[in-house]
Amino acid sequence: MNHSHDEYHRVNPDGTVSTTNSAESFFSLLKRGVYGSWHHVSREHLPKYSNEFAFRWSNSKISDGARLAVAVPLFDGKRLMYRQPAN
């Protein structure tokens, strides 16, 4: 966005609309989630929390049950490793 040229939203080639309000809203939700649920997030795990909120944001228009049905195949066969495996 180029606010100095009175650009406050942009219509993308795929027809979606981008605004700075969307980005500010997403980061506000992320920040409230961190402060409200976890109180602190280490730099090491920030991408995991960000990905969780991005998934929620991208699937916010569907029901909780439908969101769960979308999520389960994504983590099938994956493990969350806090330590590096020994060689």
* Residue 4 predicted with pLDDT over 80: no
Kindly state the percentage of the chain with pLDDT values over 90: 24
In a domain, 67, yes or no: yes
In a domain, 44, yes or no: yes
3-state class of 24 per DSSP?
helix
* Most confident range, picked from 1-10, 35-44, 75-84: 35-44
Q: Which domain holds residue 55?
A: 3-75
* Residue 39 predicted with pLDDT over 70: yes
Q: Decide which of 2 and 17 is more confident.
A: 17
In a domain, 80, yes or no: no
Are 19 and 9 contacting, i.e. CB atoms less than 8 angstroms apart? yes
In a domain, 65, yes or no: yes
In a domain, 19, yes or no: yes
Tokens 């998934």, residue?
55
What is the value of pTM for the model shown? 0.67
Structure confidence at residue 42 as a pLDDT band (50, 70, 90): confident
Q: How many domains does the chain have?
A: 1
